[in-house]
Amino acid sequence: MKKLGEGRAFVVALLVSCVSLLTILGVTFVLRSLLAGKQSQVTELRDVNDEVASHGRRIFVKHCVECHGYDARGEEGSDLHNLRTGDALIRQVITGGIKGVMPAYGKVLNDTDVQALTLYLRTLHS
């Protein structure tokens, strides 16, 4: 390969960086277009400012994403956005599970964890 002087090499480096970022942008655009028609829409992770809700999110990532998806849009499990049930029922489902559908986490999570997870689920809106 022909070697360049430092100044010209800098220009080449700048161009390659820009092209790489533009490539990423293009790939993202294509991926978004492909995903647009599917039920699981492109979503962004929710801003979780509250410390308790952040703890809830970590619990969610650890225990729930396998079925409910990283964005909680529902994959094998249901979509957890805009839950209309009360907190008590949410806590009951988390701790007791749903027979044949969802495992119980009552022995895995303590009360603080369940409360934090419930609070986090409340932050999920479409």
Q: Among residues 1 and 88, whose Cβ is nearest to another protein? A: 1
Q: Among residues 35 and 89, whose Cβ is nearest to another protein? A: 35
In this structure, what are the phi and psi dihedrals at residue 56, rounded to the nearest 5 degrees?
A: -60, -40
85 binds another protein (CB under 8 A): no
Cβ(65)–Cβ(104) under 8 Å? no
At position 90, the amino acid (one-letter code) is I
What distance in Å separates the CA atoms of residue 126 and residue 19, rounded to the nearest whole number? 34
Nearest to 70 by CA among 44, 48, 49, 90: 44
**Binding-residue pattern over the window 23 to 62 for another protein, x denoting contact by CB under 8 A:** -xx-xx--xx--x----x-xxxxxxxx----xx-xx--x-
The footprint of another protein (CB under 8 A) covers 1, 3-6, 8-10, 12-14, 16-18, 20-21, 24-25, 27-28, 31-32, 35, 40, 42-49, 54-55, 57-58, 61, 65-71, 75-77
